[in-house]
Amino acid sequence: MDKATFAMGCFWGPEVTFGELEGVVETSVGYMGGELDNPTYKDVCSGTTNHAEVVQVIFDATVISYEQLLQVFWTSHDPTQLNRQGPDFGSQYRSAIFCHSRQQQDAAEQSRVELEQSNHFPSPIVTVIQKTPTYWPGEDYHQKYIAKRNGLA
């Protein structure tokens, strides 16, 4: 199994989006990229920790490729909005790809270049692509949050 981690606004929706893909074995939500060890949701929402809300995806690369996951990432949020998605704003809602290997970083950078050259978006892409920092799992009540609210989990 391989691992991919994406930040694209509030983590509840992306967890559902990636979790429905064939080849995705597991998803979890949490926090990455900040200065505080073991942050809580309250810490992250304060805007002082520099963490992003992320979805971590465990996938079977023989069924779905990392490049296919990148396509879902790019088409499931607005990568031109700095520190916001929809009604949510703050650095915790930034667009970011956290790479677990040099191959992932190369693929992510190449996909961003191709998207920029396509002129699909009228504004520049602000997505940050970086090496994966420590992943801090979100609280239990955030895991599969939408499924729980809809009585599916």
Give catalytic status of residue 45 as yes or no: no
**Which residues, 6+ apart, have CB-to-CB distance to 129 below 8 Å?**
96, 97, 99, 105, 108, 109, 112
Nearest to 59 by CA among 4, 135, 118: 4
Instruction: Choose, from 4, 10, 32, 69, the residue flagged as catalytic.
Output: 10
Taking the C-alpha atoms of residue 128 and residue 126, their distance in angstroms, rounded to an integer, is 6
**Beta bridge pairs of residue 84:** 89
Catalytic residues: 10
